[in-house]
Chain A
Amino acid sequence: MDSIVILFISGLLGLFAGMSKKPVASLFIASFGLIGAGLAAYYRGSYTSPFSSYAAFVPTQGIVIILLCAVTLLALLGGFKRYKNDDEHTGDYFGLILFSLCGAILMAQPGDLMLFFIGLEILSIPIYVLVGIDKGSSTSAEAAVKYFFTGSFASAILLFGIALLYGATGSFQLIEIQSNLAIGIWQSPMAMIGSLFILAGFIFKIGAVPFHFWGPDVYAGASNAVLMYMSTVVKIAGIYGLINVFGQVFRDSYFFWIDLISLLIVISMFYGYITAWKQTNFRRLIAYSSIANAGLMLFALADIHNSNIFLFVGAYALATIALVVINLAVNDDSDALENWEGIAWKNPMIGIALVIALFSLAGIPPFAGFFGKFSLLWSAAPHVPYTAILALIASVIGAFVYLRLLILALKRPKVQVRMQLSIEQMIVLLLSSIASIGAIYFI
């Protein structure tokens, strides 16, 4: 609760500070807000639902809030160059992102399905605006409209699922739904269809197959600065929400949905990586890579008692943010992959961060991505062994997607052009590299 209040207030302050035409002021306010929210979550450890009448099913774990705040902080710092230049909207970025983060926190650890739905909407609506914030660009407008319509549709399906579940169990509170389902109600068609509809809503949010179509277009239409936020925080919030709802509430129907989830994992990974292979546009490549990674995230559902997703989503977020920051720094206007040729030579920090981020995404030790994948597969392998094998095969393809990008970026240019990174970009790249290496201490 404290975290959400802090975030909301700092979001408001950041919004108004934007009017002062001093972007740094907004950045400082937002950063202090995020750090404060993280600290509040750390010292509270866990807290009960913000609305006291809705009993929390799972007390929100501080670690999720800290992760969300840290990732958002990196995304804000990384995108600052863009917000600064967009002086008409500087404050809006900070305000919208922090408001959206409030929704993400509500959504990640729901105690109540209504509250969860509200969280999801609070998360989504600012992002619809952020995607379309570049009013002059037609791709941006197209992306915003597309995201808005598909997103509303997904919300409607989710809401329908919640309604069906309410019909089956007579409650919105997860703890009551669970105890009602446990006595056999989950076999009723209403509950089954309801849970599938809820699953569809989640799958849309994390962007896995089969509800992934919005991904590439929206990612390509959004600016790099917004992409950093929406490709990480939304997925983290979505997957944590999914684990909490499915791992707890629907745990009695585990064998009903686990085969479906396995299928989605395999299709998402193969589809995402194979399609990413031929992309010529960086943001589309990130979009397909994120579809595959969303598939991997679903592994967390295989072992509902011990889902070990923290390292994986952390590693994914760090690496994706580092890559998008690099793209923002060197290639913000055109977004074509061919401009990536030789960029590792422009600045040593770019080179190091790039190698670490891509190897981390490819899942090669000793970087965070490997430990994330390992801890996921470690708990999932005994439950879904064949899916794990197929996922590993798919990740070989994935490794090639990232290596192709790496080879492109490491190619030695004929004329070496040095470029300076701004201080906040340096900080983001440095932090993400250090964290990707330091993850070895967390397993």
Chain B
Amino acid sequence: MALILLPLVLSLVAWLLPSAQTRLFGLIASALSLAWSIVAVCYFKPTDHLLVDFGLRFIRFSIDSLGFTMILLTNAVFFLVFLSQFTSNITQEKRFTALALLMQFGLVGVFTTNTILGFYIFWELTLLPIFLILYWFGSFEKPRALLQFFLYTLLGSLAMLLAVIGLMHATNQQTYEGLLVADLNVLGNTSTLLMGGFLFAFAVKIPLFPFHTWQAETYTKAPTAGTMLLSAIMLKMALFGLLKWVLPIFDGVATDFWRWPIISLGLIGVVYGAIIAIRQRDIKTLFAYASLSHLGLIAAALMLNDFDTNQIAVVQIVNHSIVSIGLFLAAGIIELRLQTRNIEELGGIAKVAPRFAFWFAVLTFVSLSVPFTAGFIGEFFLIKALFSAHALTGFIASTTIVLGAVYMLRAYQAPMFGPTKIAAFADLHWSELIVFAILSVAAIYLGLAPQCLTDFVAHSLTQPTH
């Protein structure tokens, strides 16, 4: 119970504390949540379900091993965001700290709730803090881009709300277990439509190819902390929803209908995102399109709904969080020090800031899926799964490795080793150094021993019936 409510309580405390202590409080609060979840996971048997009930009719919680993984990931992401932004102005702001912790509460709720309506409510709850964070701390000159982000998300959410209402009416169930048992195949086309509602919401959030237009601009104009939160954890809600809720529940007619459309969109995103990323000059926009490319792959592979692939997808989800925190942090550091993100204006940073260059390189390699990193495990097995589905999909998916190398090396090489164009560059602060170190260790550990994660989550992934 404390695992779920702690961020909410801390968020309220953050409002009440004097502004001078905000910076330290944010760090301590997120560390506290992380420590608590680590302790809790030590006492947790992967086969268990922790039930938490606050006496609400439509919202109940049940934490299984997948939920625990996501809680750990969430709490770790928030800790790293607070730590990495320790020197920036944003953590001084009471509003940011409180809203970020509120968002953490919403995310933990999404990952642990046991009822379909609870899933929707927490899904929407995360929208309020991120909207305010983007508005107050982002560099949106006109609210148009922000409203576009909101319009897309809201349209998606409302499609999901309709699907939730329809699903609850059609099956007369609202809990996860109840919905798993309910046979949706008898609904025929209705189940396809209902799944479409969910998929639309997820496609906007992930984002998949035609629904991605909000992403680049929002990422680019958001503050570094906001971009990290969005890409490292918020988008994972959609993948989690696909993995935990939609695929097991709609297993059958509906999944068979949507499988190839979604895989196609995901793969179009893989190639399209990569090609656009190659053309970008703004390093943050480049990483945003890279994110589109990587997430398209995960979404496509998830649609295969294969037990082994789903386990690996969790590894890749964690890996993408690691990579996106690292890369957007690197972009943020460059922007903070030099007030520019244009690759063409950058060059020779490695000479003045060798430590930054080293750790950025490690994260770049993780992103490139070099063996012995989590990226390799994730991408290799996902591409393998897509190959066994169809040779063509496998081939298209594998272009991500080649194209990824092109844009990532371009983003790394020119600013770091190109001809010197910058005057001074302060090397990493200790807080940033710790973040990079933690991320790299985690990525390499997962690359060497992914089974510690796959075995853990295997208990809560359902074995597909087909």
Contact = CB atoms under 8 A, between A and B. Distances in A.
Contacts of B150: 399-400, 403
B154 interface: yes
A395 B155 CA distance: 10
Nearest to B159: A392
B58 interface: yes
Contacts of B166: 381
Contacts of A388: 162, 165
A389 B56 contact: no
B158 A396 contact: yes
Interface stretch (B128-136, B265-273, B416-424): B128-136
A352 to B, nearest CB: 9
A389 B136 contact: no
Contacts of B158: 392-393, 395-396
Interface in A417-443: 440-441, 443
A407 interface: yes
Given A392-B158, A396-B151, A410 B135 contact: yes
Contact of A392 (B127, B162, B168): B162
Interface string B157-201: 010011001101100000000000000000000000000000000
A354 to B, nearest CB: 12
A328 B168 CA distance: 42
Interface stretch (A16-24, A101-109, A190-198, A362-370): A362-370
Interface string A82-114: 000000000000000000000000000000000
B213 to A, nearest CB: 17
Interface of A, secondary structure class, is helix
A392 B132 contact: no
B59 to A, nearest CB: 8
B124 interface: yes
B57 interface: yes
A441 B162 contact: no
Contact of B58 (A382, A399, A443): A443
A407 B143 contact: yes
Contacts of B124: 364-366, 370
Contacts of B147: 400, 403-404, 407
B401 to A, nearest CB: 39
A441 B136 contact: no
B232 to A, nearest CB: 23
Given A370-B121, A443-B57, A400 B151 contact: yes
B142 to A, nearest CB: 10
Contacts of B58: 443
B380 interface: no
Interface in A55-71: none
Contact of B56 (A359, A396, A440): A440
B136 A381 contact: no
A267 B91 CA distance: 46
Interface of B, secondary structure class, is helix
Contacts of B121: 365-366, 370
Contacts of A393: 158
Interface residues of B, number: 29
Interface in B43-71: 56-59
A389 B162 contact: yes
Given A392-B161, A392-B162, A395-B158, A407 B151 contact: no
A382 B162 CA distance: 11
A378 interface: yes
Contact of A359 (B128, B136, B146, B169): B128
Interface in B27-57: 56-57
Nearest to B165: A381
B120 interface: yes
Interface in A391-411: 392-393, 395-396, 399-400, 403-404, 407, 410
Nearest to A359: B128
B57 A410 contact: no
B165 A365 contact: no
A393 B161 CA distance: 11
A364 B135 CA distance: 17
Interface in A331-369: 355, 359, 364-366
B396 interface: no
Given A365-B120, A396-B151, A403-B147, A377 B165 contact: yes
B405 interface: no
Given A359-B128, A365-B120, A392-B161, A381 B169 contact: yes
A440 B56 CA distance: 8
B369 to A, nearest CB: 38
A382 B125 CA distance: 26
Contacts of B125: 365-366
A379 to B, nearest CB: 10
**Could you say which of B56, B128, B132, B155 has the most chain A C-beta atoms within 10 Å of its C-beta?**
B128
Contacts of A395: 158
A79 to B, nearest CB: 29
A203 to B, nearest CB: 26
A364 B160 CA distance: 13
Nearest to A441: B56
A235 B29 CA distance: 45
A44 interface: no
A374 B121 CA distance: 11
Given A396-B154, A400-B147, A407-B143, A355 B132 contact: yes
B113 to A, nearest CB: 12
A412 interface: yes
Nearest to A364: B124
Given A355-B132, A370-B121, A364 B169 contact: no
**Could you say which of B122, B155, B158 has the most chain A C-beta atoms within 10 Å of its C-beta?**
B158
Contacts of A355: 128, 132
24 contacts: A365-B122, A365-B124, A366-B125, A370-B121, A374-B117, A374-B161, A378-B165, A378-B168, A381-B165, A381-B169, A388-B165, A389-B162, A392-B161, A393-B158, A396-B151, A396-B155, A399-B150, A400-B147, A400-B150, A407-B143, A407-B146, A410-B132, A410-B136, A443-B58
Given A359-B128, A366-B124, A443-B57, 9 more contacts: A355-B128, A365-B121, A365-B124, A366-B125, A378-B168, A392-B158, A399-B150, A403-B147, A412-B136
Question: Which 3 interchain pairs have the tightest Cβ spacing?
Answer: A365-B121, A365-B124, A392-B158
Interface of A: 355, 359, 364-366, 370, 374, 377-378, 381-382, 388-389, 392-393, 395-396, 399-400, 403-404, 407, 410, 412, 440-441, 443
